[in-house]
Amino acid sequence: MKGLLKLYHKLLKEYGPQGWWPLLRLPARYHPSDYSLPRTSKERFEICAGAILTQNTAWKNAERALEGLSKKGLLSPERLLRAGREAVEEAIRPSGYYAQKARKLREFARFYKELRGRTPPREALLSLWGIGPETADSILLYAYKEPRFVIDAYTRRVLASEGLLPPAEAKRLSYEELQLLFEEALPRSVPPYQEYHALLVRRAKELAKR
C-alpha cells in the first residue's frame, strides 16, 4: 500500500519527530530525534513496565504508576519480585486494573531477569500472561529496538479517517495483517517504525479533539 509511506511523510512534516518512548529521567520525557535510548537495562525495563501499565490507560496515569514504583524503589525486576504483591498494587493504583497489572509486572520481571540482556523472541513475550501483540511489539520496538511495527486502536481509526482503507476494512483486518501492510510499506528500520507509530497516535488525538 503506497499511501502508507506518503502518509508517514505527511505526518512527519506536520508534527515533527515525536521522540517516543518517554522516560522519567528526561524532564520533557520525550526525546525527539534521539534514537540512542534506552542506554541501560534500567531504562529498558522502565519502557517494558510502561508498556504494561499503559494498557487501555491514558499515558498520564501510566506515568503516575511508574513514578509510584520509582519513588518506592520498585522499578526493577529484582525489587518488584521481592516486594509484596500489595506494595506493587499500591504503587501502581493510578494506572487502573492494578491487581492484573501487578501480576503482569511481576511475571514479566521474572522473565526479564532470565533474559540477562538478550532480546526475547516475540513468541516468548506472547506466551507471558498479560502480554498481547501490541505490548509485545512495543517492548520489542522501543525497549529492544527490533523492527516490529506496533498496531493499536488508533492505527485503525487514522487509516480510515485518512481514506487509506474503508472503515469496515480497517476494522476487519487482523493485527498481523495490518502490521504486514506497514512493515512492507516502510524501510525495515527502527526509527521510522517508532516515529510512524507515535505520529499515528498524535494524529488520532488531534482527530478526537473535534
Interface positions with DNA (CB under 7 A): 20-22, 50-51, 54-61, 64, 93-101, 128-136, 138, 142, 152-154, 174, 201, 205, 208
Q: Indicate the residue among 116 and 208 with the shorter CB distance to DNA.
A: 208
**Shortest distance (Å) from residue 153 CB to DNA:** 4
The nearer residue to DNA, 4 or 197, going by C-beta atoms, is 197
Decide whether 26 or 78 has the Cβ nearer to DNA.
Answer: 26
CA distance 203 to 163: 14
| For DNA, the closer CB: 15 or 154 | 154
Q: Of the two residues 6 and 85, which places its CB atom closer to DNA in the complex?
A: 85
Q: Are 52 and 135 in contact (CB under 8 A)?
A: yes
CB of 80 to DNA, least distance (A): 17
SS3 of 56-122: CCCHHHHHHHHHHHHHCCCCCHHHHHHCCHHHHHHHHHHHCCHHHHHHHHHHHHHHHHHHCCCCCCH
Q: How far is the CB of 4 from DNA (least distance, A)?
A: 19
Q: In the complex, what is the shortest distance from the CB of residue 30 to DNA, in angstroms, rounded to a whole number?
A: 8
Q: Shortest approach of DNA to residue 192 CB, angstroms? A: 16
Q: What is the CA radius of gyration of the chain?
A: 17
Quick one: which of 169, 145, 143, 146 has its CA closest to 156?
169
Rounded Cα distance, 158 and 202, in Å:
10
Residue with cell 527502527: 190
